[in-house]
Amino acid sequence: MLAELSPALIAEVKRAAKLLAAQSRICILTGAGISAESGIPTFRDKQTGLWENYGVEDLATPEAFMRDPELVWSWYQWRRQIVADKVPNPAHHALAQWQYHAQTSEQEVILITQNVDDLHEQAGSTVTHLHGHLWRNRCGQCEIPYQDQLRASYDGQDTVSFEDELITCPHCNGYIRPDIVWFGETLPAQAWETAEKAAAKCDVFISIGTSRLVYPAAGLSQLAKQSGAQLIEINPDPTPNTIVDITLAEKAGIILPLFIEEITSL
Ligand code: NAD
Ligand code: ZN
């Protein structure tokens, strides 16, 4: 596998793996890019981004849902259809393997994701979701969860509904919405606290497959840096920044399995 990469990238992979093997507290932030190789489109990549035909302001804000709940609901139902049959790729599996390996080593590997899919969980990882869950619903008015285990029902009985028709809450008659953090909304307090703590105390912060444009999640790498951590970025199209120590400009599904190989053999 290493032979397929450029000598410069191989050297960087080895440098990163050596750094990681020597440090005990690792914090990882993943974004849409880690699920790209599973066939889930990212939000902003030019060719396949979900935003090519739709404006963010028309779909992923509370205002959009108030203005046109049917449009927003049907867009999420469409996204669920796209994601439903997708499975974890080598990058998700490598992170799960690393967390498993860390249980019997000195390392702590904390995984935080901006993704709303459940591919990290499917791969066997323990993960904190900053932006909610695609497979959960709640009332947009009283906030009570609705059919909380949508994904479980899909897995078990294939009964998940991808109907476009709006559902109303049995408690207050408000419209049911996906349990996802929209632009302008506050992140779930407990998840954010976990992420902030992990970023502030880690030795190495790894940012994988995120454009680092959406705050506050994007601020976690700055917090880690200010607290003395080294920063690694894995992204075939690296983000323009000055604070990253090691940039690995390659797909996560190629880099992460190599890490595991290197780290566990060091
Ligand atoms: P993004 O689409 O902005 O960026 C994806 C990044 O992944 C890009 O930098 C791209 O170069 C990189 N990438 C592509 N393929 C890759 C691969 N194989 N390996 C590694 N990297 C790869 O995604 P983001 O940064 O996660 O977006 C920020 C967040 O904004 C989203 O995670 C989401 O939570 C939130 N958001 C939410 C909604 C919503 O539905 N509520 C809508 C839009 C954005
Ligand atoms: Zn309600």
pLDDT for 265: 72
Mean pLDDT of the chain: 88
The ligand 1 atom at the shortest distance from the C-alpha of residue 79 is 40
Cβ–Cβ < 8 Å for 186, 154? no
Top-level CATH class of 2-40+87-131+186-265?
alpha beta
pLDDT in tens, 50-63: 546 677 667 899 99
- Tokens 């690995």 identify what position? 248
Bond before 216 cis per omega within 30 degrees: yes
- The pLDDT of residue 43 is above 80: no
pLDDT for 3: 55
CB of 88 closer than 6 angstroms to any ligand 1 atom = no
User: Which residues of the chain form CATH 3.30.1600.10?
Assistant: 49-85+151-180
For residue 42, the CA-to-ligand 1 centroid distance in Å is 5
**What is the mean predicted confidence (pLDDT) over 101-120?**
94
CB of 54 closer than 6 angstroms to any ligand 1 atom = no
pLDDT in tens, 156-173: 444 567 777 899 999 999
Q: How far, CA to CA in Å, does 87 sit from each of 40, 158, 219, 222, 247?
A: 10, 16, 29, 31, 27
Residues with Cβ within 5 Å of ion ligand 2? 139, 141-142, 169, 171-172, 174
User: Which residues of the chain form CATH 3.40.50.1220?
Assistant: 2-40+87-131+186-265
- CATH architecture of the domain formed by 49-85+151-180: 2-Layer Sandwich (3.30)
The ligand 1 atom at the shortest distance from the C-alpha of residue 252 is 19
**What is the mean predicted confidence (pLDDT) over 26-36?**
97
Nearest CA to ligand 1 atom 18: 251
Give the catalytic positions in this structure: 131
29 burial via Cβ count (<10 Å: 0-12, 13-18, 19+) = buried
pLDDT for 193: 98
The ligand 1 atom at the shortest distance from the C-alpha of residue 43 is 2
